[in-house]
Chain A
């Protein structure tokens, strides 16, 4: 049987990808940020899973206004890094895991979460920047990745509660896969940021700190935060944090298992317009 061993939470700011791709990671502006991921890169080397289930959002890349799926699971064998307007990032192609992905799709839909199945899709910085932060610049990613895209672009986005419950359903789906795979789930996006209008540049460290405290210690309370609180307190794009709740909902302690262990926690302002948050939780 497959099992879920850990969850990783991280922001996915495009400028972080650009800093790495353009060789700027040693610059004073970026150094403190990448330092916060040194532990994590080593940890991932020591704890490389067989598959990463990566929750992120598409930024009007694979999904235009043609169709806007609330939850979309990538079941393809491979996913190319997208040209978001600057040309594709020079990062490896992302290999999928069609068998596990289609198993999760079937299981989760049967648990009443109506996923959209995607068999062809390019992946943008939302997916590739977390991989870069956790893996550096390898010639290939360390394992297959199942992209799981959440609509946080057009309102209404799914509620924190819905995301949390979806995480629980994904956990049950992984557990029922016959092969003995070690799976990690990553929740990405956030933290506080706003990219539009006269309020652009909003950062709320108090909100972010409290969100991370709740996420780790009282995840159900974090899941109860309504959409309007994210907008008002964490900026219009801070709503991306609901994606962290999918990963959190998949952990053992909220599914009748033992408590989780906090391996790492990091917070830094700014990366471009955004507050960067990062944590690693391990199932015991």
Chain B
């Protein structure tokens, strides 16, 4: 019998469950190594060579090099692990979270100051909230930002 996964229809959201964790095992374990400053230096000096030390998929390595956090997450990454990459780059959690929306840093920060993203239309896939797939990427500078 299949496991119950009631969270699969939440828009713009990937729940880090056992299946995702299995997929992202080496990606996440690579991230953990960035908690040591000498490893952060080694990673920064040659990202490709550093990544090649782990049996990650090519897609995972490329997503890291591109700093494409949405792609990292779809390939099994978890934000608390991926945050070590952001920290290595000197990015805050807010900059990292914002980067996954398509908004500029300023747009995202303004949204938070105004009380954050509304849950209206963003509870279930198929509604019309700003986190729904048909409204990505967000932000004024994106092709779909004219909403």
Residues of A at the B interface (CB closer than 8 Å) are: 14-15, 18, 29, 59-61, 64-66, 82-87, 153-156, 192, 194-205, 207, 227-228, 231-233, 236-237, 269-270, 272-273, 275
Q: How far is A21 from B107 in the complex, measured between Cα atoms in Å? A: 26
Known: A233-B119, A273-B97. A82 touches B35 (CB 8 A): yes
Since A199-B13, A201-B116 are in contact, a sample of 5 more A-B pairs with Cβ atoms closer than 8 Å, ordered by chain A residue number, is A64-B81, A82-B35, A198-B136, A231-B13, A232-B124
Whether a CB of chain A sits under 8 angstroms from the CB of B44 is no
Interface size class of B (residues with CB under 8 A): 35 or more
Q: Using a CB-CB cutoff of 8 Å, which residues 63-115 of chain B contact chain A?
A: 69-70, 73, 78-81, 83-84, 86-88, 92-94, 96-98, 100-102, 108, 111-113, 115
Using Cβ atoms and an 8 Å threshold, which residues of chain A touch B80?
59-60, 153
Do the beta carbons of A197 and B96 come within 8 Å of each other? no
- Least CB separation from A85: chain B residue: B87
Pair count A-B, CB < 8 A: 164
What are 16 inter-chain pairs, A to B, with CB distance below 8 A? A15-B94, A60-B84, A83-B36, A84-B35, A84-B84, A194-B117, A198-B133, A199-B131, A200-B100, A200-B101, A202-B117, A202-B118, A202-B122, A203-B117, A228-B7, A231-B13
Whether a CB of chain A sits under 8 angstroms from the CB of B60 is no
* Chain A, interface SS category: loop
* Chain B, interface SS category: helix
Please give the distance in Å from B57's CB to the nearest CB on chain A.
Answer: 16
Neighbour of B7 across the interface among A18, A204, A231, CB < 8 A: A231
Q: How far is A201 from B110 in the complex, measured between Cα atoms in Å? A: 11
Known: A64-B29, A83-B37, A273-B97. A198 touches B12 (CB 8 A): yes
Q: How far is A269 from B137 in the complex, measured between Cα atoms in Å? A: 24
Whether a CB of chain A sits under 8 angstroms from the CB of B50 is no
